[in-house]
Amino acid sequence: MDRREVVLKADRLRVWYGSFLAIKDVDFQAKVGMVTALIGPSGCGKSTLLRSFNRMNDLIPSVKIGGSVEFRGRNIYDSSVDPTELRSRIGMVFQKPNPFPKSIFDNVAFGLRVNGYTGDIYEAVERSLRQAALWEEVKDRLNKSAFALSGGQQQRLCIARALAVEPEVVLMDEPASALDPIATLAIEQLIRELSRVYTIVIVTHNMQQAARVSDETAFLMVDDDRAGYLVEHGDTQQIFTNPKDERTEAYITGRFS
């Protein structure tokens, strides 16, 4: 495996919803400038794991966390960490495109404004839209509602919105699952493109997608108590061609899903 610097590191991470253990002792690493895919069957806690990396799980009152997640060497669940500030450094793109009911411009500008961006907002919006490969399609209608865009465009807008606040890590929760194949392809190309600048963790139920876009892949499974756990984490190539664990092999060859 690649020896790059680890940006995000989960150590024996456990997540409970009330008394239900959803994630059991997961160790995980995401390295700088790499795309790391989280794959596994439905209900194995991929999304829960992803959401514990930027403390989105905090928004659900019953959630409890055990173990630690280190971002740049610091435990993000330490009481001195402000989750609001953390989330501006670890961005997130959701499963369904969820632009605000605002103009295209205001969607991208929202994060800049709430984080007190001191530069030229217009410039930053253009830069983010270019990064998300959307600028050419929307530059003449920045003041139109984001809802006028197609699903794929909306998702790229959400990516632009996340990039605008200049995060170090971008978490993507099945970003293409609500899109058609062509829009999916555009998103995948974009992810490859973005990995030159950002560290990306992507949850996907689509194994071909994981194979296409990621450098490393982590495979999760769910035990009899419906708790998710990590089976194997390695180079994507190795996971898909020569998995060490027979459960991984069974999953990627489609023997269960």
Partner 1 sequence: MAAPPHTFDRKARFRRAQGVVFYFLFLGAVLVGIVGLVTLLVQILLQGVPWLSWHLLTDYPSRHPEQAGLRAAIFGTVWIMGLTAVLAVPIGVGAAVYLEEYAPRNWFTRILEINISNLAGVPSIVYGLLGLGLFVQIMSLGKTVLAGAMTLTLLVLPIVILASREAVRAVPSTYREAAYALGADQWQVVKGVVLPASAPGILTGTILAMSRAIGEAAPIVVISGLVYLTFVPASPLDRFTALPLQIFNWAARPQEGFRDLAAAGIIVLLVVLLSMNAVSILLRNRYQTKSEE
Using CB under 8 A, which of 17, 94, 135, 229 touches partner 1? Answer: 94
Regarding 17 and contact with partner 1 (CB under 8 A), the answer is no
3-state secondary structure 106-153: HHHHHHHHHCCCCCCHHHHHHHHHHHCCCHHHHCCCCCCEHHHCCHHH
Regarding 87 and contact with partner 1 (CB under 8 A), the answer is yes
Distance of CA 241 to the CA centre of its chain: 24
Using CB under 8 A, which of 5, 85, 123, 140 touches partner 1? Answer: 85
Of the listed pieces 107-115, 121-129, 214-222, 243-251, which binds partner 1 according to CB under 8 A?
A: 107-115
Regarding 161 and contact with partner 1 (CB under 8 A), the answer is yes
Regarding 64 and contact with partner 1 (CB under 8 A), the answer is no
Regarding 73 and contact with partner 1 (CB under 8 A), the answer is no
Sites for partner 1 among residues 123-152 (CB under 8 A): 144-145, 147-148
Q: Which is nearer to partner 1, 31 or 161 (CB)?
A: 161
Q: Which is nearer to partner 1, 115 or 206 (CB)?
A: 115
Q: Which is nearer to partner 1, 160 or 227 (CB)?
A: 160
Of the listed pieces 3-11, 63-71, 98-106, 215-223, which binds partner 1 according to CB under 8 A?
A: 98-106
Regarding 189 and contact with partner 1 (CB under 8 A), the answer is no
Task: Please state, in angstroms and rounded to a whole number, the distance separating the CA atoms of residues 247 and 206.
Answer: 17
Which residues are CB-contacts of 227 (< 8 A; sequence separation ≥ 6)? 21, 22, 23, 24, 45
Q: Which is nearer to partner 1, 89 or 212 (CB)?
A: 89
Q: Which is nearer to partner 1, 61 or 254 (CB)?
A: 61
Q: Which residues bind partner 1 (CB under 8 A)?
A: 54, 56, 59, 61, 84-89, 91-92, 94, 96, 98-102, 110-111, 113-115, 144-145, 147-148, 158, 161-162, 165
